[in-house]
C-alpha cells in the first residue's frame, strides 16, 4: 500500500489521507473556528437582514416543516433512486430574488451538500 508523509507533522499516512488523524482533528477544529468567525462576524455585518431571518423562529418552523415533508432526505438524490440524508433546506427561488417567498413551504427543498452545491452552480450558469 502506498504511503506518504503528513504535510503538517511528517508522520507516515495512507495516500488517501490528507493529514494524520491528530492533524486532521486540528485542521477540522481550525476550519470550524473560521466558519464560526465568518458566520458571527463577517456574514452578520454584511447580511444582517438574512442573518436575522435565518435565526428567526418563523424560519425554524417552516424549515422543520420542509424536513418533515421531505422525510429528512435529499430530494434530488431520491429522483436518481439514491437515498441520502439532507444537509440543508434550500430555497428553490433564492430569497435575494424574491423575499416574499422566504417562508413559502413550496419554495423549499431538502438537499444533501453536493446537490445543494450543484443547484447553486446551475443558478450561476
Q: Are 43 and 57 in contact (CB under 8 A)?
A: no
Q: Are 19 and 8 in contact (CB under 8 A)?
A: yes
| Helix or strand holding residue 35 (H, E) | helix 21-37
Cell numbers at 49, concatenated? 437582514
Cell numbers at 81, concatenated? 433512486
Q: CA 7 to CA 68: how far, in whole Å?
A: 43
Low-confidence ranges of the chain (pLDDT < 70): 41-46
Q: Are 29 and 37 in contact (CB under 8 A)?
A: no
Decide: residue 80, CB within 10 A, 0-12 exposed, 13-18 middle, 19+ buried: exposed
Kindly report whether the global pTM for this prediction surpasses the value 0.85.
Answer: no
Map residue 111 onto helix, strand or coil.
strand
Summarised one tens digit per residue, pLDDT across range 74-96 is: 999 999 999 999 999 999 999 98
- pLDDT value for 110: 97
Amino acid at each position: 500500500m502506498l504511503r506518504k508523509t503528513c504535510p503538517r507533522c511528517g508522520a507516515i499516512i495512507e495516500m488517501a489521507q490528507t493529514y494524520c488523524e491528530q492533524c486532521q482533528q486540528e485542521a477540522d477544529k481550525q476550519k470550524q473556528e473560521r466558519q464560526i468567525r465568518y458566520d458571527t462576524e463577517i456574514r452578520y455585518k454584511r447580511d444582517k437582514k438574512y442573518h436575522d431571518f435565518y435565526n428567526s423562529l418563523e424560519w425554524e418552523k417552516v424549515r422543520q416543516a420542509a424536513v418533515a415533508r421531505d422525510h429528512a432526505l435529499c430530494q434530488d438524490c431520491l429522483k436518481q433512486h439514491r437515498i441520502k440524508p439532507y444537509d440543508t433546506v434550500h430555497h428553490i427561488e433564492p430569497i435575494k430574488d424574491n423575499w416574499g417567498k422566504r417562508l413559502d413551504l413550496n419554495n423549499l427543498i431538502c438537499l444533501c451538500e453536493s446537490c445543494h452545491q450543484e443547484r447553486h452552480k446551475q443558478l450561476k450558469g
